[in-house]
Amino acid sequence: MMKNGIEKITAVSLAIGLALSAATTTQAAPYREYTPLPPGGLEPGVQNDFSGSYKYWKDGETVAKYAATLPPEERWKLNAKENDPPVNEALHGGHIAMDEGEAIYERLNANGQFAKCLGAKDNDLTGLRANHYPHYDAKLGHVVGLEEMIERCAAKQGEKLLNGSHNNSAVSIYIASFSNGMPLNVDLSDPQLKAAFERGKKLFTQRGGWTNFSCATCHVSLAGKKLRGQTPTTPYGDAAHWPTYRVKDEIQSLHVRFTECNRNSGVQPLKVGSKEYTDLEVFLSGLSNGYPVVAPSLRY
Amino acid sequence: MKRIMIGMAIAMLGGEIACAGALPDNLSYDPSTKTGTIWPKPIKGSGELSYKNHRQDLSRWVSLSYAETRDANRPVTVKALPKGKGDPARGKKLAFNKKKGNCVACHRLPGKTQFGTGGPSLVGYHKLGRDDTWIYQQVFDARVHNPVTIMPPYGTNKYLSEQELLDLVAYLKTI
């Protein structure tokens, strides 16, 4: 009896103590579900693609060969690379945007400060897209993508080029064209970029929205399966051609694409340039490490 | 006195909003618009963005924001079928409707030429002999049958109503 009473008191005070500590310390992480990683995980570098499609899109010559021979139900294995040279050399809106981007760039860089702000040495844009973005910016104290820096550096020259806007993406495509054919090279030995890559990987598998879908629901679990009229592809090798010309006649940046992915899967989109989208950008760029930059590119 | 009352009302209102859970500030969201959820659309030749409303308010469910503190909905086991009778004709419409069940996005259904292969074909589904409660559970929250399913929990996430789910059950038993 006595013992029971003491136990009760102890239990009550323990409960009060727990309640107090819960109120004073940080709250527990909210409940989330995650899509399981594919065999081999989602490690950086195009060669680590889990879908078995890499051998069909590893370079232009291979894409050209399989674009001519793969049956319709297997064309997803081309990873949409048949839309880029050398298979598709057609003129499209991306070329026009690239010219527009050049004119805007020349105007902003009249005094050489715009290129310098973006990280180019001696006004030389060669390799800037492939080797320098995304990166950790010590002054800003966070990881930045090329389009975020275009907005920031343009503002310093008194011009508004919002991240995700047509003109911002046009400048990005123009800058990327100086990296054409150069393999994407995100430095994941940098602890800040590595941390962003890992955060991005977690977000990629995190489920949300009314559908309870993650990015990985479509691009891992359903890669190669039909969703009515479309077939989702591997996330590997996808980040090296953004911003891109979409055939709905829009120059689209990667972050704007994320907002489209989100709402198509019933998930509330985030702001362009948010930390979450930048982490996803770093993650997808890491998965494209080793794949050549394409500018301008075209996607359906 | 009046001023004090107004002040109290504002304070209470503020408290209520905080209690309801303020939305993360990095959502693409504008509460002054029709549905709240907005998405950016580039304008040709411009350094600005235009925004359009999504057809529904997606902030009702958890987003990928790091500032999102709400729990996602845990799996819910259906104890008993709700009252009411399902109508297979209505169920078929819901299954084909992209803004409702959109079952054809992943499943093959009789009478549809453009369908998905993400989930199993449902042609001949009645032959599996599932009872109403099992089928209702599957559309309400399939995670109870398979913890790693990719099928949306239409009931738990309140995307479809109980009546709509009953209609789907009735339809599935006819195919």
Tokens describing residue A45: 């570098």
| Domains of chain B and any CATH numbers | 21-68 (no CATH), 88-172 (1.10.760.10)
The 10s digit of each residue's pLDDT in A42-86 is 999 999 999 999 999 999 999 999 999 999 999 999 999 999 999
What is the identity of the amino acid at A282? V
Give B100-146 pLDDT, tens digit per residue: 999 999 999 999 999 999 999 999 999 999 999 999 999 999 999 99
| Spatial contact of A243 and A252, defined as CB atoms under 8 Å apart | yes
Q: How confident is the model at residue B6, as a pLDDT? A: 44
Residues of B in contact with A27 (CB under 8 A): 69
Say if CB A127 and CB A178 are below 8 A apart.
yes
Contact criterion met (CB below 8 Å) for A205 and A35: yes
**Inter-CA distances, B139 with A36, A166, A215, B81, B150, Å:** 22, 42, 22, 12, 12
Q: Predicted confidence band at A16 (pLDDT cuts at 50, 70, 90)?
A: very low
**DSSP state letter for A12:** H
Of residues A222, A232, A224, A202, the one with CA closest to residue A300: A232
CB atoms within 10 A of CB A290: 17
Q: Is the pLDDT of residue B7 over 70?
A: no
Helix ranges, chain B (H) = 2-20, 88-96, 132-140, 162-172
If DSSP codes are grouped into helix, strand and coil, which group holds residue A142? strand
Sign of the CA dihedral with B73 first, then B77, B83, and B86 last? positive
Residues in chain B with CB shorter than 8 Å from the CB of A263 are 37, 39, 54, 58
pLDDT on residue A3: 43
What Rg do the C-alpha atoms of chain B give, in angstroms? Answer: 21
DSSP B25: T
Cα–Cα dist B49/B40, whole Å = 6
**For residue B106, which of B126, B120, B92 has the smallest C-alpha distance?**
B120
At A189-222, the pLDDT tens digits run 999 999 999 999 999 999 999 999 999 999 999 9
Give the percent of chain A with pLDDT over 90.
90
Separation in Å, CA A207 to CA A67, A268, B150: 34, 12, 10
Of the partner residues B44, B63, B116, the one whose CB lies closest to the CB of residue A208 = B63
Nearest to residue A299, comparing CAs of A236, A263, A253?
A: A253
Q: Which domains does chain A have, with CATH numbers?
A: 30-300 (1.10.760.10)
- Under a CB-based contact definition with an 8 Å cutoff, are residues B77 and B143 in contact? no
pLDDT tens per residue across span B21-42: 689 999 999 999 999 999 999 9
B19 pLDDT above the threshold of 90: no
Summarize the confidence of residues A91-118 as an average pLDDT. 98
B42-83 tens-digit pLDDT: 999 999 999 999 999 999 999 999 999 999 999 999 999 999
| pLDDT on residue A26 | 61
> What length is written for chain A?
300
Q: How far is CA A73 from CA A230, A291, B75, in A?
A: 11, 25, 35
pLDDT tens column, A257-273 = 999 999 999 999 999 99
Q: Are A183 and A4 in contact (CB under 8 A)?
A: no
- CB-based contact (8 Å) between B63 and chain A? yes
- Residue B13 has phi, psi (to 5 degrees) of -60, -45
Please list every residue in chain B whose beta carbon sits closer than 8 Å to the beta carbon of residue A209.
58, 61-63
Q: Mind listing the pLDDT tens digit for each residue in A17-41?
A: 444 444 445 668 999 999 999 999 9
- Beta-sheet strands, E only, within A152-297: 244-246, 250-252
Chain B 1-20, CB below 8 Å of chain A: which residues? none
CA B137, CA B78: separation in Å to the nearest integer? 6
* Cα A198–chain centre separation: 13
Q: Considering CB atoms only, which of A31, A169, A229 is closest to B71?
A: A31
Chain A residue at shortest CA distance from B35? A268
β-pair partners for B53:
B38
Asked if pLDDT for residue A133 goes beyond 60, the answer is yes
How does the average pLDDT of chain A come out, rounded?
Answer: 92
Residue type, A250: E
In the block, residue with structure tokens 């989109």: A269
The phi and psi torsions of A191 (rounded to 5 degrees) equal -60, -35
